[in-house]
Amino acid sequence: MEMNDLQPIILPGIPARRPLVIAGPCSAETEEQVLAAARALAAQEVKIFRAGIWKPRTKPGGFEGVGVEGLRWLQRVKAETGMYVSTEVATERHVFEALKAGVDLLWIGARTSANPFAMQELAGALRGVDIPVLVKNPVNPDLELWIGAIERLYNAGLRRLGAIHRGFSSYDRTIYRNQPQWHIPIELRRRLPQLPLLCDPSHIGGKRELIAPLSQEAMDLGFDGLIVESHCTPDEAWSDKQQQVTPDVLCFMLHTLVVRETTQTTEPLAELRQQIDRLDDELLALMAKRMRISREIGQYKKEHSMPILQAKRYDEILNKRGAQAVELGINPEFVKTLLQAIHEESVHEQVKVING
């Protein structure tokens, strides 16, 4: 599905320039807290205010949001600051209450976008409604599931749609709360070039000191906007305190972002890209040769009744190539990932020979 008739999510009165910024606390905690954050952000010329009204928690017993009462606080934000207001919805009732309260923009969270039944329910609740809706990527790195969630809304008649990249869960320990895996939103953009794409650096980083570099990376990759968690007293926040910044810090960060023009001509890059193309051709030719040799090794192992997997040899390759990568100025983790994929395919080729 191409979705060529998608419309901009920009609301009236908001400049049509990058980045579109949505900011506010992770959760609406009290009326005073919400209004204080909104006033401070409005003073920094943020136009769209965000606050979680319903908060899905991994385990019961945590703060799960103030519920419908918080929508009245968002109405006060609109009335007193002139900001647009936005919140997350996960059920048909959430949609009904948010629309009744005049919420201007909705987003759908990572847990919900991973559930086709929930997405279909939301699509049904939003049918016939002209409101911007942003869909966060599913918790797991599943591009098709992400696209499927967006398609359900599109099939319900919504055209002001967008996507939010908030990173992906992983068992591996890294500096990030959720792995960026930038290649997935990049592929989403390739598949759906008309779809606005925002980045949620708060949830990717999980730490406030990572919000600025992640936001810059998103701008460098051509993202259209940012949704950032901002709280007047982050260390006292009732949820996700580590990943929220004050409005002043957010303002400083936004003013230091380097936002490059995405419509610049790339003609001067033509020669360099031709060099890349030639090198890619050489890499593929070398890969084909390597696989041919792997098949020959498979034949030798078959004739001599040898096991396919040689663990010691594999470890030697990883260690040696990792050290070479460092000497050559290449990320050793990237080389490790690459070699693991090559090794897996080589084993597959040998299996075919032995079982053939």
CATH number belonging to the domain at 20-256, selected among 3.20.20.70, 3.90.950.20, 3.40.640.10, 3.40.605.10? 3.20.20.70
CB atoms within 10 A of CB 31: 15
For residue 47, report the phi and psi dihedrals to the nearest 5 degrees.
-100, -20
Per domain, the residue ranges of the chain are 20-256, 267-355
Q: Domain 267-355, what fold? A: Chorismate Mutase Domain, subunit A (1.20.59)
Helix (H) or strand (E) holding 312: helix 311-327
Q: Pairing state of beta strands 20-24 and 225-229?
A: parallel
CA–centroid distance for 255 within its chain: 22
Q: How far apart are the C-alpha atoms of 99 and 186, rounded to whole Å?
A: 32
Full pLDDT tens readout for the chain, 356 residues: 789 899 888 788 888 889 999 999 999 999 999 999 999 999 999 999 999 999 877 778 778 899 999 999 999 999 999 999 999 999 999 999 999 999 999 999 999 999 999 999 999 999 999 999 999 999 999 999 999 999 999 999 999 999 999 999 987 778 999 999 999 999 999 999 999 999 999 999 999 999 999 999 999 999 999 999 999 999 999 999 999 999 999 999 999 999 987 666 666 777 788 888 888 888 998 999 999 999 999 999 889 888 887 778 878 888 888 889 889 999 988 988 998 899 899 989 999 998 87
pTM (two decimals):
0.80
Q: Is 171 left (phi over 0), alpha (psi -120 to 50) or beta?
A: alpha
